[in-house]
Amino acid sequence: MPRKRKYPKRIYIPIPYDIVELYETPLLEIVFPEKTAKMSKKIINHIKEFGFIDREDWKELCNNEIEHVLFNRTLNKMVSLGMLKRAKGGEFILSEEFSTKLGVLIQKWEAIRKK
């Protein structure tokens, strides 16, 4: 029986101090390191084109085994952040959970600021 996948419990996002850098840097490059950001762009583009991505689709996106490991790690991080979710067939689709989490953070900050 296959074991249950473990997703990271927490993902740390380094937010730039400079507001100009924050506006000019693409979101995925803020959230992920450079190589992971490129892989996440590939994953998102694949999902936009086909509607979903499966774990076996790494063969189309990766050239070697090192990229395959990066693909799986990026997929797991994106699921943990709420950017992706599993569909009924086991494939991954885009999710609104990430924007919901950011919205909750905004609401909490506004509540603190207005006290």
pLDDT tens by residue, 7-60:
778 878 888 889 898 899 999 999 999 999 999 999 999 999 999 999 888 888
DSSP state letters, 34-95: HHHHHHHHHHHHHHHHHS-B-GGGHHHH-SSHHHHHHHHHHHHHHHHHTSEEE-TTS-EEE-
State which amino acid sits at residue 32. F
What's the CA gap between 43 and 36, in Å, rounded? 10
106 has a pLDDT exceeding 80: yes
Question: For 46-80, what is each residue's pLDDT tens digit?
Answer: 999 999 999 888 888 888 888 999 999 999 999 99
| Chain mean pLDDT for the chain | 89
Coil, strand or helix at 31: helix
Residues 83 and 10: beta-carbon distance below 8 Å? no
At residue 39, the pLDDT reads 94
At residue 115, the pLDDT reads 79
Q: How many CB atoms lie within 10 A of CB 66?
A: 10
At residue 1, the pLDDT reads 65
CATH C-level class of 19-114: mainly alpha
Residue extents of the structural domains in the chain: 19-114
The pLDDT of 90-98, averaged and rounded, is 93
Start-to-end C-alpha separation, the chain: 52
